Amino acid sequence: MKIFTASQIKACDEFTIKNEPISSVFLMERASEKCVDYLAKKIDYHQKIYLFCGNGNNGGDGFAIARLLYYLCYDVTVFIDQSNQGFSNDATENFNRLKEISGVVIKDFSEVSTVLFERDSVIIDALFGSGLNGNIEGKLAMLIHQLNQIEAYKISIDIPSGIFADKIIDKDSTVFKAKETLSFQFYKKAFLHPEVGIFCGEIHLLDIGLHPDFTESTLVKDFTIDEEIIKTIYRPREEFSHKGNFGKSYVIAGSYGKIGAAVLATKAALKSGSGLTFCVSADCGYSVLQTHCVEAMFMSFGNHFCEKIEINDDAAFGIGPGFGTEEISEKALINFLKSKKLPLVLDADALNLLSKNTENLKFIPENSIITPHPKEFARLFGETSNSFERLNLARTKSKELNIYIVLKDHHTQIVTPNGDVFYNVTGNSGLAKGGSGDVLLGIITSLLAQNYTPENAAIFGVWLHGSAADFAAKKYSKEAMQPTDVIESLSEVFKSLS
């Protein structure tokens, strides 16, 4: 799915109004109806609903939502700034329609402190939409601080008030903290970055029927990975195929005390479809690897640490989990990279070794995939102030080195050499455990072995990893799930794809 900027979303609204055609106030009504359809499934009739409406079109959405909820027999109270009723045209029309309903109480923002909010009440934020262009200050900032302190269920319409759709917010910005956000049609880029996404809660996209000609014809560089993308990538296995059709995966990983990393990466490669899988590791881990990865073949690269990698094979290589950072291992890695032309996958200690002398980055074969977490990325390419800056730097380095960068985060980003970014929206905080990255390396290496392009291997691999984690969380909980559970849950993902 394409991610549009705030200005593009505004243009999409205008295009829809002109070409459907539909009036702007009827488009607002359609959006509000979609919100109410969702809210009616979520909220019980005994729960009181409090809507906080601003002067712009976001407030207009709020007025229409209040009216429609009242028609469904909900107890609705609306708060506005009664000292400043310079509403937008569409907000004015919806406010006037709302005022005609005697059963809806309309209060001033200043009266919030006089209301006893029950814990099961619902606060709906319709103060500022994605058109916000400055920090919220004054009495509206004080209002949002008050609302954030109230123990109630909080939902934002379109975007939490105080957030910009396309950029970072200041650390001391005033932002409404929502439990859920009902976004119209598209993700906003800000939802997918940790500094801002923490205020959004669960994101629900509501299809309000914006014109498909605009969405199809407008060029963007940012995307979310959705099922439509995955359907174009995934290749089901054909009958009468054999193991040679699905490639060779070499997982080069593990050292004394870190053999578990090699086990996780190897098992993930096996579970995600690799035809032949080799684990290249330290002799000290032989028994463990042969016991836990019985389907894989073992090759030695040294006694306790990597001393030399001697594999002359045009296959897929995944290097790094538990590899170690000894000087002899660094030399072995660099010599191996110099000998390779085909794309490979680098993670963990392989990246840590490269960061010791970033001149060695030039030896990474073109179209390879690296999978750094934020600290590994900083060691490789330098510190950045926030995730937006980190992404921009990743775009620069991806193009410069002609490699794919998988920026691991809550919404992992796959950055391509041509500047496209694909945000992953599967996965959960249960992945915030040691070993999760080892699993990801094994999956991507396996897909590369199966002749997926590097771009598709990275996109599909990250999506598979997150989807398997979602299955694991449902079964075991986010707290209790382990990386091994993610590996086992890959089968559920593939079954759902079939």
Last residue of a domain, one of 220, 248, 278: 220
The domain spanning residue 430 has which CATH number?
A: 3.40.1190.20
Residues 121 and 203 in one domain: yes
Torsion of CA 440, 442, 443, 445, to 10 degrees: 120
φ/ψ (deg, to 5) at 434: -60, 135
Residues 61 and 203 in one domain: yes
What pLDDT is stored for residue 498 in this prediction?
Answer: 85
Nearest to 446 by CA among 431, 457, 432, 438: 457
Nearest to 51 by CA among 192, 170, 147, 173: 147
Q: What is the DSSP string of 75-110?
A: -EEEEE-TT-----HHHHHHHHHHHT-TTSEEEEGG
What pLDDT is stored for residue 67 in this prediction?
Answer: 98
Type of residue found at 434: G
Within-domain flag for 46: yes
Nearest to 481 by CA among 424, 431, 410: 431
First-last CA distance in the chain = 21
Within-domain flag for 327: yes
Euclidean distance between CA atoms 127 and 111, whole angstroms: 16
What pLDDT is stored for residue 377 in this prediction?
Answer: 98
Residues 213 and 323 in one domain: no
Last residue of a domain, one of 175, 191, 220: 220
Within-domain flag for 286: yes
Task: Count CB neighbours of 139 within 10 A.
Answer: 13
Calculate the alpha carbon distances from 399 to 30, 183, 269 in Å.
42, 32, 28
Residues 28 and 93 in one domain: yes
Within-domain flag for 1: no
Torsion of CA 193, 199, 203, 209, to 10 degrees: -90
Tell me the residue length of the chain: 498
Residues 177 and 237 in one domain: no
Q: In what order do the strands lie in the sheet with 222-224?
A: 222-224, 421-423, 413-415, 404-407, 369-370, 345-346, 316-319, 248-252, 276-282, 297-302
Residues 305 and 329 in one domain: yes
Q: Which domain holds residue 323?
A: 229-497
What pLDDT is stored for residue 133 in this prediction?
Answer: 84
Residues 197 and 302 in one domain: no
Torsion of CA 451, 456, 459, 460, to 10 degrees: -50
Last residue of a domain, one of 195, 220, 245: 220
Residues 201 and 322 in one domain: no
User: pLDDT truncated to tens, each residue of the chain (498 aa)?
Assistant: 999 999 999 999 999 999 999 999 999 999 999 999 999 999 999 999 999 999 999 999 999 999 999 999 999 999 999 988 789 999 999 999 999 999 999 999 999 999 999 999 999 999 999 888 889 999 999 999 999 999 999 999 999 999 999 999 998 999 999 999 999 999 999 999 999 999 999 999 999 999 999 999 999 999 999 999 999 999 999 999 999 999 999 999 999 999 999 999 999 999 999 999 999 999 999 999 999 999 999 999 999 999 999 999 999 999 999 999 999 999 999 999 999 999 999 999 999 999 999 999 999 999 999 999 999 999 999 999 999 999 999 999 999 999 999 999 999 999 999 999 999 999 999 999 999 999 999 999 999 999 999 999 999 999 999 999 999 999 999 999 999 999 999 999 999 998
Residues 247 and 109 in one domain: no
Burial class (CB in 10 A: 0-12, 13-18, 19+), 299: middle
Total of domains in the chain: 2
Residues 275 and 310 in one domain: yes
The domain spanning residue 94 has which CATH number?
A: 3.40.50.10260
Q: How, if at all, do strands 413-415 and 404-407 pair?
A: antiparallel
Residues 268 and 314 in one domain: yes
Within-domain flag for 92: yes
Residues 174 and 300 in one domain: no
Torsion of CA 8, 214, 200, 48, to 10 degrees: 110
Task: Count CB neighbours of 314 within 10 A.
Answer: 9
Within-domain flag for 202: yes
